């Protein structure tokens, strides 16, 4: 089996590759598991050294749209594509053309590349919870179910929703076996901050654990729907595994989430790492970020994902402890 992961050098892309390589074989689209022969990791930069050291991994570096336009990707024989590459929310608001190129033009080109293969590969598209948004003058969002009509309020969410519809139509035409999933905000992400408006939801845990101050640009009452990296990867993998009958409708599914608030996240940090860590949180409002984050749903229904055997995290304290266990070298405060 041959697999392509776009954004393969990024945090989730690399984590997905490791999970697949560890499994060694994969039961694609309800069929019996087959050995993984090659995973192509496409990104602007190189993937982590541990992945490059695996003989089953091939790194393709460069601008993804240009690679697709030159038909360097996807390669003949590609059985599955995990499309994770994207410009993130704040980037798309700051640079409209960047978002349209990275999130719309590139997705369309990748879909056309898969169509040209003529083999109907599985295509897992990482959409976003940002397809849901509070419309101006309307009441706050309630529970967002799988079939709730998306009303995105930012360029990123709009581009992701268009991507969902393209995946559905290419699936309807038989060009691909499309599976669109909507991950919620992933926390806690290790490493350097990214340009996402939701990035503080990792930074407010990651930085204090490293002994560094972190800005919290929203109020403690702001509700958020979160998932750990582990639960997120489980959902992405499961989408490719299940049969067409198990998947059901061509529309996107919400991945499992934990409902919490920013204040409860801060409390979990203090419980795990004490006042020394929580005192490093700087509660400094940023009206632009708060407006965008408050427009996203804080409570998400995920019945279709539950029907596929997926589950959410038990609590945010468990998520913090998972991050510490996996990134002990980045933690410089005492942990209880």
pLDDT per residue of the chain (336 residues) written in tens, 0 to 9: 999 999 999 999 999 999 999 999 999 999 999 999 999 999 999 999 999 999 999 999 999 999 999 999 999 999 999 999 999 888 998 999 999 999 999 999 999 999 999 999 999 999 999 899 888 888 888 899 999 999 998 899 999 999 999 999 999 999 999 999 999 999 999 988 776 778 999 999 999 999 999 999 999 999 999 999 999 999 999 999 999 999 999 999 999 999 999 999 999 999 999 999 999 999 999 998 888 888 888 889 999 999 999 999 999 999 999 999 999 999 999 998
Catalytically annotated residues: 156
Three-state DSSP state, 302:
coil
CATH of domain 197-224+258-298+314-330: 3.90.25.10
Rounded distance between C-alpha atoms, residue 302 and residue 322, angstroms: 23
User: Model pTM?
Assistant: 0.95
The domain segmentation of the chain, as residue ranges, is: 2-184+227-254, 197-224+258-298+314-330
197-224+258-298+314-330 shares the fold of 2-184+227-254 = no
CATH of domain 2-184+227-254: 3.40.50.720
> What separation, in Å, do the N-terminal and C-terminal C-alpha atoms of the chain show?
44
**What angle (nearest 5°) sits at the alpha carbon of residue 251, between those of residues 107 and 240?**
70
Signed CA dihedral, 54, 56, 62, 63: sign only: negative
């Amino acid at each position: 089996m041959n697999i392509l992961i776009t954004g393969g050098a990024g945090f989730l892309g690399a984590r997905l590759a490791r999970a697949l390589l560890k499994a060694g074989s994969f039961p694609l689209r309800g069929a019996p598991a087959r050995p993984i022969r090659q995973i192509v990791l496409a990104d602007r930069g190189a993937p982590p050294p541990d992945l490059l050291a695996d003989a089953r991994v091939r790194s393709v570096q460069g601008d993804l749209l240009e690679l697709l336009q030159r038909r360097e990707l996807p390669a003949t024989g590609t059985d599955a594509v995990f499309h994770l590459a994207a410009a993130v929310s704040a980037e798309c608001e700051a640079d409209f053309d960047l978002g349209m190129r990275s999130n719309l033009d590139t997705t369309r080109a990748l879909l056309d590349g898969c169509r040209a293969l003529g083999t109907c590969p599985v295509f897992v598209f990482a959409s976003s919870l940002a397809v849901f948004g509070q419309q101006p003058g309307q009441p706050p969002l309630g529970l967002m179910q799988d079939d709730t009509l998306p009303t995105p309020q930012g360029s990123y969410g709009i581009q992701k929703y268009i991507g969902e519809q393209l995946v559905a139509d290419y699936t309807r035409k038989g060009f691909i076996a499309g599976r669109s999933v909507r991950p919620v905000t992933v926390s806690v992400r290790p490493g350097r901050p990214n340009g996402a408006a939701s990035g503080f939801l990792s930074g407010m845990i990651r930085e204090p654990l490293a002994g560094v101050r972190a800005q919290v640009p929203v109020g403690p009452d702001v509700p958020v729907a979160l998932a750990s990296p582990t639960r997120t990867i489980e959902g992405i993998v499961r989408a490719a595994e299940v049969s067409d009958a198990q998947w059901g409708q061509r529309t996107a599914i919400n991945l499992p989430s934990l409902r919490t608030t920013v204040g409860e996240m801060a409390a979990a940090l203090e419980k795990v790492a004490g006042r020394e860590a929580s005192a490093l949180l700087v509660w400094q409002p940023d009206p632009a970020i708060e407006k965008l984050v408050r427009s996203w749903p804080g409570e998400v229904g995920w019945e279709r994902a539950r029907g596929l055997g997926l589950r959410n995290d038990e609590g945010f304290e468990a998520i913090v402890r998972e991050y510490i266990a996996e990134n002990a070298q980045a933690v410089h405060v005492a942990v209880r």
